[in-house]
Structures are given as C-alpha cells and as structure tokens.
Amino acid sequence: MSSSQNLVKELTCVRCPLGCKVKIEYTKELEVLNISGNKCPRGREYAIQEISDPHRILVTSIKVKKGKYLLASVKTTDAIPLRLFDEAMKIIEKLEVEAPVKRGDIIIKNFLETGTNLIVTRSVERL
C-alpha cells in the first residue's frame, strides 16, 4: 500500500489533564502503523479507540425528590461510546430518584449494554 493512502491524526489525549499530544498513523482499514507523543499506555489506547469509536465518560445529573438538593450529579464508571451520548441523555433526562442517595450508588447497571454503570457522584441527604 502506498503511504499516500495512510492517515494521520493528531489528537489530544483526554484521559487525564496532562493532555498529551498523540500522533497516530493508520491505514483506511484502521490498521495502526505508528503512535507517538503519548507519555503512558493510556495514550496509546486512547489513540486507537479515537480513530475507530471515540469513548468518553458521560457526566450529567438526575432529578432528586425530597432531597437537600434538586439534583444529584452522575457519571458513567468508564468511558462509553460518544455516539451513544444522545440516547443516554434521553434516558437520563427521565430519571428521578428519591433522597437519600450516596456517592457511588448505582442508578443503572450495565448502562446501554456498555458494561459501565451510571453512578451517583454527589450524595444528597433527605430533607
């Protein structure tokens, strides 16, 4: 295969605030040729995933009834495909839990079959 068909993407790894500039060279068939610029293995993983199916941790909030706060923040325990965000938000928008909730409480197990859980990140006491 001639090199002119190879693709290059310069990415900013989002796995941590260091934000390494990772350069990935790959073929149209998504065969990885070279990865550089990453300071740790997570950067390599990130680059490979990024060219095929970018994943992100989803952070948002859900309504809480009878709580000290109106909302509890939630997150997915690991990155989920970015393409599922719209669908995920449509589900989350309808959720409502009753206080108290605690940090780490699982709201949805195996969220959208991604193998990650949707968990509470803010404890909300009952009023």
Partner 1 sequence: MKYKTDVVVIGGGAAGMAAAYRAKKEGVDVILLERDEDTGGVLNQCIHNGFGLQYFKKDLTGPEFKEYAKERLEDIEILFGTYVLEVRNDRTIIFVDRRGIHEIETKALVMATGARERHFNSLPVPGKRITGVFTAGLAQRFINLENLKPGSKAVILGSGDIGLIMARRLTLEGIKVEAVLEIMPYPGGLERNVQQCLKDFGIPLYLSHTVTAIEGDRRLEKVIAAQVDYKWDPIPGTEKEFEVDTLITSVGLIPQTKPVDFVETDPGFLVSNTNQTSEDWIFAAGNCTVIFDLVDYVAKEGEKAGKYAAMYAKGEYKKGKKVKVRKGENIGVIHPIYIDPTQESTLYIRVSKVFDRANIKVLPLDVEVIEDEARPPEMIVVKLKPFDENIDEIEVMADELISKLG
Residues forming contacts to partner 1 in the complex (CB under 8 A) are 11-14, 16-17, 19, 21, 54, 56-57, 59-61, 63, 69-71, 73, 75, 82, 85, 89, 103, 121-123
Nearer to partner 1, 1 or 40 (CB): 40
The two three-digit tokens of residue 37, written as one number: 């610029």
Nearer to partner 1, 103 or 126 (CB): 103
Query: Least distance (Å) from partner 1 to the CB of residue 7?
Result: 17
The two three-digit tokens of residue 74, written as one number: 């939630």
Query: Least distance (Å) from partner 1 to the CB of residue 18?
Result: 8
> Quick one: DSSP state of residue 112?
G
* CA pair distance 127, 125, nearest whole angstrom: 6
Nearer to partner 1, 6 or 60 (CB): 60
The two three-digit tokens of residue 41, written as one number: 């293995």
The two three-digit tokens of residue 31, written as one number: 């065969």
DSSP conformation letters of 5-43: G-EEEEEE--SSTT--EEEEEE-TT--EEEEES-SSHHH
Nearer to partner 1, 3 or 94 (CB): 94
Query: Least distance (Å) from partner 1 to the CB of residue 3?
Result: 25
